[in-house]
């Protein structure tokens, strides 16, 4: 199964100026920008923060719904990898200690890999995902702004 962390967002013109942005898949995402470009940039940050909060709280992480005609924002690669690792670890039923044993690392290091605030290396995240039967792929997209 392919997981993509590109979430559709809804932009609505604000009567007082600018745009308000929401994300149907992540109801906690509400942000705004002075114009469409700024609103989409703010949306990237808001979606990333929403995912980070869900990872920290061990809440569910919804996969994006089909975009249809809506704008889409994509979180940075490290955040996407940490969200994917969180999901894969839950599905596997393994504990952090068991994943650490598979990787030959301490549980503390696994905790850091799952910590959205920790600057993990992509190769370490790729190794953890590989231990859970997943791999990281790269897509190059047109920039939002």
Which regions of 43-117 does DSSP assign to beta strands (E)? 71-74
CA angle 131, 74, 128 (to 5 degrees): 10
Residue 1 pLDDT class (50, 70, 90 cuts) = low
Angstrom distance (rounded) from CA 77 to CA 79: 5
> DSSP 3-state assignment of 71?
strand
Record the tokens describing residue 65, joined without a space: 């719904």
Cβ atoms of 46 and 29 within 8 Å: the answer is yes
In this predicted model, what pLDDT tens digit does every residue of 115-144 receive, in sequence order?
999 999 999 999 999 999 999 998 887 766
Reported as half-sphere exposure (CB side, CA atoms, 13 A), residue 14 has a value of 15
Q: Which residues contact 108 (CB under 8 A, 6 or more apart)?
A: none
In this predicted model, what pLDDT tens digit does every residue of 65-106 receive, in sequence order?
999 999 999 999 999 999 999 999 999 999 999 999 999 999
Beta bridge partners of 73: 7
Which regions of 14-139 does DSSP assign to beta strands (E)? 19-22, 30-33, 71-74
């Amino acid at each position: 199964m392919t997981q993509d962390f590109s979430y559709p967002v809804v932009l609505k013109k604000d009567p007082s100026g600018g745009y308000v942005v929401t994300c149907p898949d992540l109801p906690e995402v509400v942000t705004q920008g002075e114009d469409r470009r700024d609103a989409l940039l703010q949306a990237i940050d808001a979606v990333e923060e929403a995912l980070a909060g869900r990872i920290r709280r061990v809440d569910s992480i919804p996969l994006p719904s089909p975009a249809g005609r809506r704008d889409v924002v994509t979180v940075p690669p490290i955040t996407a990898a940490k969200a994917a690792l969180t999901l894969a670890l839950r599905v596997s039923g393994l504990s952090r200690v068991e994943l650490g044993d598979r990787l030959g690392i301490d549980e503390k290091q696994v905790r850091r890999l799952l910590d959205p605030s920790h600057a993990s290396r992509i190769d370490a995240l790729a190794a953890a995902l590989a231990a859970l039967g997943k791999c990281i792929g790269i897509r190059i997209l047109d920039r939002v702004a």
